[in-house]
Structure 1
Amino acid sequence: MTTTVIILILIVALLLIGVILIQNPKGGGLSSEFGGGATSQMFGVQKTGDILEQLTWGFFAFIVVGALATGIFMRAGEAQSGNSALDVETSQSAPAAPAPVNPVPALPTEPAPAE
């Protein structure tokens, strides 16, 4: 479920980038291509800037809600599994004992030959 929400957020983010790039920062944008000023309407539809603005806010709201939902889903998954990688008490173990150091191998103890 979390993966699906993340993929949808990425798709909506790309659409949001496209909608923002279509808009003209001075208010002209795509609406000026279809007949001039803000007073003209084409086939009873309001100016295009309003539609693009509504799409921008809608995509933004979806991204915010999706991000919050993803956080909730991930927390619920951690609570069900009971083991979290961020839990310091369970993720840290005691350090391993160092290996014994033998600098010189032990020599056999034989009696010296008598002279």
Structure 2
Amino acid sequence: MITTIIVLLIIAAVLLTIMVLIQNPKGGGISSEFGGSGGAQMFGVQKTGDIVERLTWGFFTFILVGSLGTLILLKSGGLETRTDSDVNVEKASPATSVPALPSTTPADSAK
């Protein structure tokens, strides 16, 4: 579940970036690319600036609420997370350990 939320947040972040890049800081935005007011009325793109602005605020709000909601759920234990105790992992012996050598005693060598 947490993976799904994170993927949705990443997609929203990419879409937010695209929305910000297509906006014109002077208020023209993408609607000015269609030939001013005459082209905008003919193709029905009169409200493109408003739509892009609303989408920008919507993606921003989704990222903000999604991030805070995920944090709250993780802190309260509402989402299931995997811990080391849940996963059965055999611990390997450290690389610095030396294997035990067979002990040879003088009695063993006399035989």
| TM-score relative to the length of structure 1 | 0.59
The equivalent residue for 2:104 is none
The equivalent residue for 2:52 is 52
How far does residue 25 in structure 1 lie from its aligned partner after superposition? 0.7
How far does residue 71 in structure 1 lie from its aligned partner after superposition? 0.8
> Unmatched 5+ residue regions in structure 2?
84-111
User: Aligned in 2, Cα 1:79/1:63: closer, same or farther, shift over 3 Å?
Assistant: closer
The runs of at least 4 consecutive aligned structure 1 residues that moved more than 6 Å come to 78-81
**Is 1:69 matched with 2:75?**
no
How far does residue 73 in structure 1 lie from its aligned partner after superposition? 1.7
The equivalent residue for 1:35 is 35
How far does residue 45 in structure 1 lie from its aligned partner after superposition? 5.0
The equivalent residue for 2:25 is 25
> Unmatched 5+ residue regions in structure 1?
84-115
Quick check: 1:31–1:49 contact (8 Å CA) kept in 2?
yes
Greater C-alpha radius of gyration? 1
Matched residues, number: 82
Q: Kindly provide the amino acid, as one letter, of the partner of residue 32 in structure 1.
A: S
How far does residue 42 in structure 1 lie from its aligned partner after superposition? 3.8
The equivalent residue for 2:100 is none
The equivalent residue for 2:2 is 2
